[in-house]
Amino acid sequence: MNAVHHAEEASPLPYPDGWFALCFSRELKPGSVLTTPFMGRDVVLYRTRSGQVRATDAHCPHQGAHLGHGGTVEGENLVCPFHHYAYGQDGRCVRAGQAEGGRRAALRTWHVREWNGFVFVWQNAKGLAPTWELPEVDMDGFSVPVGRSYTLRGLMQNLPENGYDIEHFGALHRWTDMSPHAPLVDGPRISMHVDMAWKGIRWRTLIGVHGLGCVSSDHEMKSLGLEAKIFACGVQVAPMQWTFRDGISFRFSWLAKWPPFLRHAIYAVLSRTLHRLWLVPVFKEDIMVWSHRDYSRYAEPAAGSGPYPIFRRWATQFYPAPATPTRAANAPMAAADSHGVARQTGS
């Protein structure tokens, strides 16, 4: 979009509820602290020395220092750089100074899950604790997921709905022989089998979407002996800006009998290659469209009975009602706190 700079663009939708990935697990080594943008605010992630990941509001409740700028991990606690108050895993202040009579305000924490190499936090506009969980994925024999992140203009719903927009598979990606099965809706989950072909190779997929923030899809190309799992996890970071992280993991049936060390060595090399040659080019085509799309009518109800309108109607459950538009952070009205920023404690 050229006419409107996206920093000033209003969103047609409020921030959605659910689980959203804020970083890769590998970005958080024990003892490290990371600031991540999330729905118009910063969230601070850290990993304790024992390996637990925690997420908190960015600012210290004492005098407002940003914990992502100079905050440190001491054992299982997060320590503020300003006066060295320390906060435990549940956000409680476990060490305070005496200058203000030892007053101990708690730090707000977010519910966190680590899932297949991604760190998710739970968002709920009403402040509810998690009402559903991310899926169990059988990774037996699969390679370690390899992926990267992208930050784009637009709405994160692009990512989960992509797998239900069958028309674009042929038009944009040039896949052929599409045969979608009916989507199955199960509360916060939706799934659909699609049979198709890529360069003449038969390809069967099962596209599972868990809330709007977690796409977990299974792919099988029998003639190559290839099974793959592709993860795609999006998050809205500002009203019209979002980030997604992908990951691909696979196994070849003809490698199953090879010695593990050899198999792992081959997977290590092939993982990056497969990601670069398969996933990156496909997402580049989508990104070209997503980055310049007109979103002004995006919140209009979807009519019809195909997979795409079924998906669009299913997706409405994640948007807090009434759907008032979010605005850019620098627009002259309160943005983040009035649209979906929940206060939660514990994990």
- 41 is a contact residue toward ligand FES (CB under 6 A): no
- 34 is a contact residue toward ligand FES (CB under 6 A): no
| Window of 19-27, 63-71, 255-263, 337-345 that interacts with ligand FES by CB under 6 A | 63-71
Peptide bond before residue 322 is cis, with ω within 30 degrees of 0: yes
Site string for Fe ion, 147-166 (x = CB under 5 A): ---------------x----
Q: Quick one: tokens of 67?
A: 């914990």
Q: Which residues, in sequence order, are CB contacts of 4 under 8 Å at separation 6+?
A: none
Q: Which amino acid is at 37?
A: P
Give first-to-last CA distance, the chain, whole Å.
39
Smallest gap from Cβ 120 to Fe ion, in A, equals: 23
Q: Which amino acid is at 226?
A: L
Q: Which of the listed partners (ligand FES, Fe ion, none) does 87 bind, with a CB threshold of 5 to 8 Å by partner kind?
A: none
Smallest gap from Cβ 146 to ligand FES, in A, equals: 38
Handedness of CA 216, 222, 223, 224 (dihedral sign): positive
Q: Which of the listed partners (Fe ion, ligand FES, none) does 57 bind, with a CB threshold of 5 to 8 Å by partner kind?
A: none
- 63 is a contact residue toward ligand FES (CB under 6 A): yes
Total number of residues that touch ligand FES (CB under 6 A): 9
**Smaller CB separation from ligand FES, 85 or 120:** 85
| The 3-state secondary structure of 32-98, one letter per residue | CEEEEEECCEEEEEEECCCCCEEEEECECCCCCCECCCCCEEECCEEECCCCCCEECCCCCEEECCC
Q: Are strands 53-57 and 109-110 parallel, antiparallel or unpaired?
A: antiparallel
- 65 is a contact residue toward ligand FES (CB under 6 A): yes
Q: How far is the C-alpha of 42 from the C-alpha of 68, rounded, in Å?
A: 9
Site for Fe ion in 259-298 (CB under 5 A): 286
Q: How far is the C-alpha of 324 from the C-alpha of 202, rounded, in Å?
A: 44
Smallest gap from Cβ 280 to Fe ion, in A, equals: 13
**Smaller CB separation from ligand FES, 83 or 92:** 83
Rule CB under 6 A: choose which of 52, 82, 220, 298 binds ligand FES.
82
Q: Which of the listed partners (ligand FES, Fe ion, none) does 131 bind, with a CB threshold of 5 to 8 Å by partner kind?
A: none
- 314 is a contact residue toward ligand FES (CB under 6 A): no
Q: How far is CA 6 from CA 136, 247, 292, in A?
A: 37, 27, 10
Q: Which of the listed partners (ligand FES, Fe ion, none) does 162 bind, with a CB threshold of 5 to 8 Å by partner kind?
A: Fe ion
Rule CB under 6 A: choose which of 15, 19, 20, 85 binds ligand FES.
85
- Residues in the site for Fe ion, rule: CB under 5 A? 162, 286
- Residues in the site for ligand FES, rule: CB under 6 A? 60, 62-65, 80, 82-83, 85
